[in-house]
Amino acid sequence: MGRRRKGLSVNGWFNLDKPAGMTSAACVNAVRRATGAAKLGHAGTLDPSATGILPIALGEATKTMPYVTDSAKRYTFTVNWGERRDTDDADGAVVKTSEARPDRDAILAALPAFIGRIEQVPPAYSAIKVDGERAYSKARAGEDVTLEARRIEIHAFELIDVIDEGRARFAVQSGKGAYMRALARDLAVALGTCGHLSELRRTAVGPFAEDAAISLEMLQELGHSAAASTHLLPIETALDGIPALALSDREAERLRNGQAVPVLRPQDRERIATAGDDGIVLALEAETPVALVRVDGIQVRPVRVLNL
């Protein structure tokens, strides 16, 4: 028999507003201590100096985490012109300087080149693995880290404000895997100068947005109380946009046992037809999530059974 996890069985999501100065893993541990939950995870790492939305999955919600990490994200940040830093943010050491300072017109003219599918070289100080080791570990040890460019997607890149001659504020909506530090670095280069990012805030991750977030401080104050549970979002929050399929009691039991279920009702086949490229559908018994299932001809097969 496998070892059972210590802690409470809590299933759902907290839409956490991460404070500055904490790693994402430290936030997960803080939520674990506050709630006593046995199983937790976060959907999308934020740099320690960054603030903003860090969705925390508890219990069976951890099985839906990929649907959040793969979703669109929104950020705001400041670019500081004239200094390149080894970490590409304000925490690093200055490695290059420039006297050039772009004006508003130059910035606006440069932004369209960064919208759409673009190639981006991640920062050397990143969690990407190189020869089995995190890139940031190699960089901190003084090794020369060269990472390959990746294809990313930037949906929107807007200038919010020119704060002063040396700083400008931006808003970005991006797909998976985009580094805002690298975006700030590359924009500065395109403008004939160098620069680094500061004041990074993530304002949304998929369906999780800052206007409905809870601070870590408040969550710690609420602890195990009933008030904390009012902030616990249902598992299906992460599955926004995935078609739902209603099941009978017998069909739900078959899926829970890992068996396929034939889908013969015309209305169900129409709903399944709206599934995305991966063919994933959320199977429900009444309003209780049963499993994530994949369409296979005229039947669905369980991909992830949710033990609720």
Catalytic residues: 47
Look up residue 160 and give its two tokens.
Answer: 């919010």
Encoded tokens for 149: 């460019």
In sequence order, what DSSP letters do the residues of the chain get, joined into one string?
A: -PPPPPSB---EEEEEEEPTT--HHHHHHHHHHHH-BS-EEESS---TT-EEEEEEEEGGGGGGHHHHHTS-EEEEEEEEETEEETTSBTTS-EEEE------HHHHHHHGGGGSEEEEEPPPSSSS-EETTEEHHHHHHTT----PPPEEEEEEEEEEEEEEETTEEEEEEEE-TT--HHHHHHHHHHHTTS-EEEEEEEEEEETTEEGGG-EEHHHHHHHTTSHHHHTTPBPGGGGGTT--EEEE-HHHHHHHHTT--EE---HHHHHHHTT--TT-EEEEEETTEEEEEEEEETTEEEEEEE---
Q: Compute the distance between CA of residue 125 and CA of residue 109 in angstroms, rounded to an integer.
A: 29
Specify the pairing of strand 12-18 against strand 167-174: unpaired
